[in-house]
A and B are shown apart, each in its own frame.
Chain A
């Protein structure tokens, strides 16, 4: 029972659909004639128009705009027009620029047709009657008469057939208006393109280039869709005509992916990035196929892939905005959403859900233009963002540098105070050392002075001894002489001379007058000698004690050497012969006390060196040479002591260096000598040979 109902209903529906097409009453107004057409799908493209003069195969078209989807079939549409206008020509407009093959026939009678137009993308653009992307064909229908037409279309892309008829002039006006709108659109896109190229040149950020190319790809895709690409860019290229829509679709898809990848920095999210790269690869494969044989390529694939890309990019941008928190992605999100809305609307129109009108037809260009502008704004904003980031980074840098500078300053202050402190400590240490040096030098002076006074005391001892001890004997001798003198004085004039003289002779013999005379001489000589020596010692001491005279003075250095020798006499006279070779009396500008100390120290060392050799019989020799050469005085003090070994030669001027046993000698003697030489801008050289002796050679400038 149920199956019968179904069969009945289906027959009813079928018969309902199998109705003859209505005739279109044309009264001069333009209108869509979709509903008045009947359609037949010629799956093998095997029919001839004559076959369709009878109506049996046709079904009614649903909707004002037949949507034939993507198909390999040829579609035949049949319609009749009764011309009730006041003109015998009218235009039919098939607003599907991408139809590959389009043929319009008019039925002459039941068996014959007349080919009115053979158009399509497979023919060069120049063969069109009118230079518009839409197909415009003139129909000649005499007034009050009716004609039947057959339209065959085939395309490898989606076939949408918004067909309308109308007055030629009115339709052409509309087409012109459409041209203007499209020019406007091209203008906007071109402007966006140039603008972003300019920014790229300025900013050198690759994302702008990609965007510019994306804009171009969008423009191309839209133009291809709208048929302007065929008209304006490749009107004569059949090769491009076959592939144009496909390639531009692929191109825009790829560019969308590339740009989104760059703009959203998808490479930071590996998983999303892989998706994008996969899609790009897919498009690459499509490209290959399209280039080789576009007829093999199913346009639906493009549509599906485009859908996939759209939603994937939407997902990516959502992810990056919400989950990754990239605030910039909002621009892309909004722009892309707007574009997708445009696409959505367009799709709905294609599906027939939304009516075919100016709004739905142009949502794509409009949407893409808005998207382009928004993304441009986003990119421009990026400069701002980058600027801000730069500022922040700079600020941070400045802060860091400031911090570092502060830290550095702190460190510098620390170091400076440390340095100042250690400087102070060093100054104090230096002062202490200088004091110690002075003390030591003073001690050495005292020590040598002690040595000196011991020597001096001894030196003076002897002369004082025999000066004093000579006096009494001298007095007695003079008393003896006095006796004789008295005797002579006591002679009275009337005394007997002979006996008196005999008496005197007796006394003379008694006292041994010759001896007495001799002794008087000897004793006086002794006193003289003693006095002289004492005077010399005192003078020498005075000379030597000029030690503390720190005044530069022109001094006879030979005097200095001599007085020093005097003071050392007791040590010298026993074993040592002092030979002197003074070239001339030499006066040099010096500190006389210090030079005397120098001589004292050097001579002392020489004496000790000789004593250590154990010479007897005056084998010890000291040779003192003074000469003048080139404004310099050269003083040489040479001894035949034990000599100085080579390894010690370096050290002998070192303070506290001594080869003497502990307790004998301070070790400062020669270091003081060295400092005195330096004070006088002089030089000292030592020649020494073990077993032979040592020579000290001093060179002093005559004038300081």
Chain B
């Protein structure tokens, strides 16, 4: 069914204006890894740097700084907002100052967008089950990790992120279209 057949509608050309406001396509996967063990950070970076943009932080303070330093402005049709450009945050649970879950809880308000993955030893499981709900953690993985599995999880997280992104974009676009339509 083409547009002409639709009663009460006129052909609408939004491509130009909409196109301007279309969001930037999601770039390469950006993942932040938080762990107090430096060797782990090195291992993570070495494993994923070819595929993703890897950020590493030794403690919660550093991690927050990285999230802060990578703020991007996003315009999406009818809205414009800032957010951190990090897509996935992977954090170790067993850390001296703040646990992984505590960290995730702390950034929930400010940086709600990144997907959250927790690395935890089995013995922590009990303590963490409740926390998983609180911290809205997407997945957990046990240490020592299997690289393939971790990669898979990170990619899945990114997929969900982009899916969400495109859904949002679509909603915004239609909104914008509606607005434009209303303005006409």
Q: Which residues of A contact B (CB under 8 A)?
A: 454, 457-458, 461-466, 468-470, 472-474, 476-477, 519, 522-523, 526, 529-530, 573-575, 616
Contact = CB atoms under 8 A, between A and B. Distances in A.
B96 A469 contact: no
B46 A470 contact: yes
Nearest to A575: B96
Contacts of A575: 96
A466 B43 contact: yes
Given A458-B94, A461-B121, A461-B143, A466 B47 contact: no
A464 B146 CA distance: 11
Contact of B39 (A466, A474, A519, A573): A466
Interface centre among B46, B50, B143, B147 (most CB of A within 10 A): B46
A462 B40 CA distance: 8
A75 B119 CA distance: 164
B82 interface: no
A469 B123 CA distance: 21
A462 B37 contact: yes
Given A469-B44, A474-B46, A464 B144 contact: yes
Given A526-B42, A575-B96, A465 B123 contact: no
B72 interface: no
Nearest to B144: A465
Contacts of B46: 469-470, 473-474, 477, 519, 522-523
Contacts of A474: 46
B181 interface: no
Interface string B139-175: 0000111010000000000000000000000000000
Interface string B22-57: 000000000000000101101110110010000000
Contacts of B20: none
A473 B47 CA distance: 5
B123 A529 contact: no
A474 B144 CA distance: 17
Given A469-B47, A575-B96, A526 B144 contact: no
A465 B145 CA distance: 7
Contacts of A529: 39
A510 to B, nearest CB: 11
Interface centre among A461, A466, A522, A523 (most CB of B within 10 A): A466
Interface string B104-121: 000000000000000001
Contact of A469 (B50, B121, B147): B147
23 contacts: A454-B123, A457-B123, A461-B121, A461-B144, A462-B37, A462-B143, A463-B39, A464-B144, A465-B40, A465-B143, A468-B144, A470-B46, A473-B43, A473-B46, A473-B47, A474-B46, A522-B46, A526-B39, A526-B43, A529-B39, A530-B39, A573-B96, A616-B97
A223 to B, nearest CB: 132
Contacts of B44: 469
A469 B94 contact: no
Nearest to B41: A466
Contacts of A464: 144
B43 A469 contact: yes
The 8 closest A-B CB pairs, nearest first, are A574-B96, A473-B46, A465-B144, A469-B43, A466-B39, A466-B43, A526-B39, A473-B47
Contacts of B50: 476
Given A458-B94, A461-B144, A465-B145, 9 more contacts: A458-B121, A462-B40, A462-B143, A464-B144, A469-B44, A473-B43, A476-B50, A573-B96, A575-B96
Contacts of B40: 462, 465-466, 469
A470 B38 CA distance: 12
A468 B145 CA distance: 9
B102 to A, nearest CB: 14
B37 A469 contact: no
Nearest to B38: A526
Given A458-B94, A476-B50, A470 B42 contact: yes
Contact of A470 (B37, B43, B143, B145): B43
A522 B143 CA distance: 21
A283 B164 CA distance: 153
A457 B142 CA distance: 13
Contact of A523 (B42, B94, B144): B42
Nearest to A511: B50
B41 to A, nearest CB: 9
Contacts of B43: 465-466, 469-470, 473, 523, 526
Contact of B123 (A458, A463, A574): A458
A272 to B, nearest CB: 110
A472 B121 CA distance: 22
Contacts of B37: 462, 465-466
A530 B46 CA distance: 16
A469 B144 contact: yes
A618 to B, nearest CB: 9
A318 to B, nearest CB: 115
Contacts of B144: 461, 464-465, 468-469
Interface in B77-117: 94, 96-97
A473 B50 CA distance: 9
A476 B144 CA distance: 20
A174 B72 CA distance: 181
A470 B37 CA distance: 14
Nearest to A618: B96
Contacts of A574: 96
Contacts of B42: 466, 470, 522-523, 526
B59 to A, nearest CB: 11
Contacts of A458: 94, 121, 123
A477 B50 CA distance: 10
A472 B147 CA distance: 8
B55 to A, nearest CB: 16
Contacts of A463: 39
B39 A462 contact: yes
A472 B50 CA distance: 12
A526 B121 CA distance: 20
Interface centre among B42, B97, B121 (most CB of A within 10 A): B42
Contacts of B123: 454, 457-458
A134 to B, nearest CB: 146
A472 B47 contact: yes
Contacts of B94: 458
A477 B96 CA distance: 32
Interface centre among A461, A469, A574 (most CB of B within 10 A): A469
Contacts of A530: 39
Nearest to A462: B37
Contacts of A573: 96
Contacts of A457: 121, 123
A616 B61 CA distance: 14
A523 B43 CA distance: 7
A456 to B, nearest CB: 12
A466 B119 CA distance: 13
A575 B96 CA distance: 7
A126 B126 CA distance: 148
A473 B42 CA distance: 10
Contacts of B121: 457-458, 461
Nearest to B150: A469
Contacts of A468: 144
Contacts of B145: 465, 469
A327 B94 CA distance: 114
Nearest to A460: B144
A660 B37 CA distance: 30
B137 to A, nearest CB: 19
A210 B43 CA distance: 132
Nearest to B47: A473
Contacts of B47: 469, 472-473
A245 B40 CA distance: 148
Nearest to B142: A461
A599 to B, nearest CB: 23
